[in-house]
């Protein structure tokens, strides 16, 4: 390990680079305080550690760092890990590290992937509370203080975040119509006072998750596998955290999430740090399968595992229709019908690894599920549901007729 030092005009010692070849990481602390001041500062461990992983983030990085440094809760450290950026990101990080002693800057020599870079910024801090900060987001000045308060007042809560405000590339809040067309809905994952079963069920009730950017108890994070090298790594981590405690989402919108749309292929490429060689991705099928595996690996009774698995399968195959539709689209070849009830049976079998059933058995199970759903509805809702089913069947018959009527001549 080689260390180079230089003395600047201010008399401060600047540690320019500490290279750890084995770990493929360089520690950069530019124009840091003198050794005496650094030792004095290190005597006190900050309550909050912020990890900011970044790669080629020069467009928004200053906005993100400025909003973090403007927090009304000052007892924090900011750990920045640059993942081998080839734009102006390193220079921006050095500038901020030079001017604020709370910042520690690290740089990877090569692209290790977003998942590993996220994990590295957690392994470096010292605080009892930790939060990930994306390089292109923005936080209200009271975000950290409000989240610390939420964790201090609720010992059963392992993660505290806030309602999300969605912004575009230039920082303007998205209107409701745009949100409906792009995000549709998002899972706030507010599980305060819920049981374990209710918390896990809530995770798959709705798509789109942002809770991972809340403030988390570091001790709880250490009991997880952190960010995995898989699509939906944040959702997998949230599942592990829900095993350990509740999540508290504040009603006020104190967190601005910059909405930049990416394909599943691009998302997975960034996570792994290399192009995906998978012929055809099935992100939501794989995510559901990985969540089932996490339940199977958990240290809990067989009966509780069975209950959690059943709830998850019910959500992703039927109750959460958005998720069910995505799995249907990703595996279209195995479905003989787009009927919602028939598809739900096929999806459950697919995820649970059940051998392909005969069509007659699938129809029988689907009809049983239909009757079960009807029995749980009030009389007006039951009638409405039956009418909806009739309309769906009529539409399928009409679609088949039109397909036959206007089929091209051979």
Give the chain's mean pLDDT.
85
Q: Show the tokens assigned to 2.
A: 């080689």
Domain boundaries 1-136, corresponding CATH code: 3.90.550.10
DSSP class of residue 121 equals H
272 Cβ contact partners less than 8 Å away, ≥ 6 residues apart: 113, 115, 229
Q: Of the given ranges (287-291, 342-346, 395-399, 402-406), which has the lowest mean pLDDT?
A: 402-406
* Cα–Cα distance for residue pair 291/295, rounded to 1 Å: 6
Provide Rg for the chain, Cα atoms. Answer: 25
DSSP string, 56-93: S-TTTHHHHHHHHHT-S---EEEEEEEES-SSSHHHHH
Predicted local confidence at residue 408, as pLDDT? 47
Residue 307 pLDDT more than 60? yes
385 Cβ contact partners less than 8 Å away, ≥ 6 residues apart: 373, 374, 377
125: helix, strand or coil? coil
Residue 213 pLDDT more than 70? yes
* Cα–Cα distance for residue pair 176/166, rounded to 1 Å: 10
* Cα–Cα distance for residue pair 105/211, rounded to 1 Å: 25
Q: Which of 238, 247, 49, 259 is nearest to 138 (CA)?
A: 259
Q: Which of 27, 31, 6, 7 is nearest to 17 (CA)?
A: 27
Predicted local confidence at residue 375, as pLDDT? 76
* Cα–Cα distance for residue pair 173/179, rounded to 1 Å: 10
Contact 189, 203 (CB under 8 A): yes
Residue 17 pLDDT class (50, 70, 90 cuts): very low
CA distances for 241 relative to 199, 213, 232, angstroms: 10, 13, 15
DSSP string, 247-268: EEEEEEEEEEEE-----HHHHH
Give the number of residues written for the chain.
410
Residue 231 pLDDT more than 80? yes
Q: Identify the burial level of 258 via C-beta atoms within 10 angstroms of its C-beta, where 0-12 means exposed, 13-18 middle and 19 or more buried.
A: buried
Residue 152 pLDDT more than 80? yes
Predicted local confidence at residue 366, as pLDDT? 84
Q: Show the tokens assigned to 26.
A: 């360089």
Between 363 and 374, the higher pLDDT residue: 363
Between 313 and 407, the higher pLDDT residue: 313
Residue 110 pLDDT more than 60? yes
Q: Which of 29, 140, 127, 132 is nearest to 76 (CA)?
A: 127
Q: Which of 301, 330, 347, 333 is nearest to 204 (CA)?
A: 347
Domain ranges of the chain: 1-136, 139-259, 294-376
Handedness of CA 367, 373, 376, 381 (dihedral sign): negative
Q: Of the given ranges (70-74, 114-118, 376-380), which has the lowest mean pLDDT?
A: 376-380
């Amino acid at each position: 390990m080689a260390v180079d030092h230089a003395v600047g005009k201010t008399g401060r010692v600047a540690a320019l680079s500490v290279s750890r070849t084995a770990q493929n990481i360089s520690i950069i602390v530019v124009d840091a305080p003198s050794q005496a001041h650094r030792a004095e500062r290190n005597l006190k461990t900050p309550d909050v550690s912020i990890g900011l992983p970044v790669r080629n983030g020069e467009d928004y990085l200053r906005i993100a760092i400025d909003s973090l440094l403007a927090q009304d809760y000052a007892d924090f450290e900011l750990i920045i890990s640059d993942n081998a950026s080839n734009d102006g990101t390193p220079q921006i990080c050095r500038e901020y590290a030079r001017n604020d002693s709370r910042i520690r800057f690290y740089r990877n020599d090569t692209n290790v992937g977003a998942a590993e870079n996220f994990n590295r910024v957690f392994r470096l801090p010292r605080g009892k509370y930790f939060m990930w900060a994306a390089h292109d987001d923005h936080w209200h000045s009271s975000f950290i203080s409000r989240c610390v308060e939420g964790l201090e007042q609720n010992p059963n809560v392992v993660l505290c975040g806030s309602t999300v405000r969605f912004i575009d590339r230039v920082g303007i809040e998205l209107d409701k119509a745009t949100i409906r067309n792009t995000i549709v809905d998002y899972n706030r994952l507010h599980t305060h006072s819920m049981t374990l079963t209710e918390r896990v069920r809530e995770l798959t009730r709705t798509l789109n998750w942002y809770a991972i950017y809340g403030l988390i108890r570091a001790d709880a994070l250490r009991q997880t596998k952190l960010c995995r090298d898989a699509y939906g790594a944040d959702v997998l981590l949230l599942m592990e955290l829900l095993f350990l405690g509740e999540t508290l989402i504040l009603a006020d919108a104190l967190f601005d999430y910059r909405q930049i749309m990416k394909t599943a292929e691009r998302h997975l490429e960034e996570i792994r740090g290399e192009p995906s060689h998978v012929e055809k991705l099935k992100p939501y099928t794989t995510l559901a399968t990985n969540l089932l595996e996490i339940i199977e690996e958990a240290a809990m009774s067989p009966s509780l595992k069975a209950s959690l698995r059943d709830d998850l399968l019910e959500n992703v195959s039927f109750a959460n229709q958005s998720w069910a539709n995505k799995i249907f689209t990703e595996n279209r070849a195995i479905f003989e019908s787009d009927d919602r009830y028939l598809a739900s049976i096929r999806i459950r079998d697919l995820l649970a690894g059940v051998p392909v059933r005969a069509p007659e058995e699938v129809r029988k199970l689907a009809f049983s599920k239909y009757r079960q759903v009807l029995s749980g509805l009030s009389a007006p809702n039951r009638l409405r549901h039956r009418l909806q089913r009739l309309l769906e069947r009529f539409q399928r018959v009409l679609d088949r007729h039109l397909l036959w009527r206007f089929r091209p001549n051979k």
